[in-house]
């Protein structure tokens, strides 16, 4: 790193900004952006190939690169502090931005442990919600998150940020509803769908067997195909004036209830 980038007009930074801002660019190039040193290291540990590093001038991270990447080191450049802070969401607390190669997220590649717990997210659109859900999935150490018919690019910067890098620690698959249902049935995983139709309170069910929880959007819920394919539709009782929880909160309640039952 013999020079520092001092202009937002630099070609590398223009390419970086395109990847940050455009889902189409990420899809076409097969690359995405990671903002934050901790998240970069989590991605590396998960087997992601880090292609480029942009280090904030004055950051201590530049001293660690040789140790962390003794071989196959990513192309690394310094970026002037004021320029870096315009690129990074967290600025000085980030210290580094990376360009990494994305992975395929095929449902068939999920490796299940005995008696797994799966979280199925049906068409959730808000990146912040999906990131928070993935963070909870990491906290509860479940087997996988399956994103069905999602309109959200899982390498969206807001997902990576709100998941605090857990997108790299949790197995994630992207699949159609039909393929996900068939895969769950093929693996003898019982399906519990959050729904108002013919539902029982979530505390009345047994989650000690292989289990999948299906959650939809707060606005429209799950697709009817999940209600029809469910072993049992479940509901979280709402005792106040509101009629629903944020989907990430619902995920947390259900996953921790499953863990509680399994610890008995």
Q: For residues 204 and 31, what is the distance between their CA atoms, to the nearest angstrom?
A: 44
DSSP lists the bridge partners of residue 221 as 217
Helices assigned H by DSSP within the chain: 11-21, 23-29, 37-45, 65-68, 81-87, 127-140, 157-162, 177-186, 224-229, 247-262
Tell me the pLDDT of the chain averaged across its residues.
92
* Choices 3.40.50.150, 3.40.50.1370, 3.30.1330.30, 3.40.50.720: CATH for 4-101: 3.30.1330.30
Residues 6+ apart with CB under 8 A from 261: 206, 207, 208
Q: Does residue 66 have a pLDDT over 90? A: no
pLDDT bin (cut points 50, 70, 90) of residue 1 is low
Which residue, chain included where needed, has tokens 């509803």?
177
* Residue 139 pLDDT: 97
- The C-alpha angle with vertex 59 and arms to 155 and 65, in degrees rounded to 5, equals 70
Which residue, chain included where needed, has tokens 């698959």?
173
Q: Does residue 72 have a pLDDT over 90? A: no
Regarding predicted confidence, which is higher, 226 or 70? Answer: 226
Q: What is the pLDDT of residues 165-222, one digit of tens each?
A: 999 999 999 999 999 999 999 999 999 999 988 899 999 999 999 999 999 987 778 9
Q: What is the pLDDT of residues 78-98, one digit of tens each?
A: 999 999 999 998 767 788 999
Helix (H) or strand (E) holding 238: none
The pair of structure tokens assigned to 213 is: 């929880």
State the CB neighbour count (10 A cutoff) for residue 237. Answer: 7
pTM here? 0.91
The yes/no answer on whether domain 107-262 falls in CATH 3.40.1280.10 is yes
3-state class (DSSP) for residue 171 = coil
Q: Does residue 153 have a pLDDT over 60? A: yes
Q: For residues 48 and 40, what is the distance between their CA atoms, to the nearest angstrom?
A: 9
Regarding predicted confidence, which is higher, 43 or 246? Answer: 43
HSE-up of residue 188 (Cα within 13 Å, Cβ side): 4
Domain coordinates in residue numbering, the chain: 4-101, 107-262
Q: What percent of the chain has pLDDT over 70?
A: 97
Residues 6+ apart with CB under 8 A from 103: 47, 48
* Residue 264 pLDDT: 85
């Amino acid at each position: 790193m013999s020079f520092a980038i001092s202009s937002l007009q630099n070609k590398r930074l223009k390419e970086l900004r395109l990847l940050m801002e455009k889902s189409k660019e990420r899809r076409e190039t097969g690359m995405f952006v990671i903002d934050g040193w901790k998240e970069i290291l989590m991605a590396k540990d998960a087997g992601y190939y880090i292609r480029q590093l942009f280090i904030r001038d004055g950051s201590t991270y530049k001293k660690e690169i040789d140790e962390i990447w003794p071989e196959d080191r990513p192309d690394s450049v310094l970026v002037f502090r004021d320029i870096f802070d315009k690129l990074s969401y967290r600025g000085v607390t980030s210290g580094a931005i990376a360009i990494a190669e994305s992975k395929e997220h095929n449902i068939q590649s999920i490796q299940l442990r005995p008696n797994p717990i799966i979280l199925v997210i049906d068409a959730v659109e808000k990146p912040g919600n999906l990131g928070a859900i993935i963070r909870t999935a990491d906290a509860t150490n479940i087997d996988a998150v399956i994103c069905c018919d999602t309109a959200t690019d899982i390498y969206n910067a807001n997902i990576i940020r709100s998941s605090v890098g857990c997108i790299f620690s949790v197995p994630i698959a992207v699949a159609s509803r039909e393929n996900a249902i068939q895969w769950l049935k093929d693996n003898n995983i019982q399906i519990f769908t959050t729904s108002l139709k013919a539902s029982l309170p979530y505390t009345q069910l047994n989650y000690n067997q292989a289990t999948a929880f299906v959650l939809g959007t707060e606005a429209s819920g799950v697709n009817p195909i999940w209600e029809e394919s469910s072993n049992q539709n479940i509901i979280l009782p709402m005792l106040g004036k509101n009629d629903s929880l944020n989907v990430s909160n619902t995920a947390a309640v259900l996953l921790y209830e499953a863990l509680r039952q399994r610890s008995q």
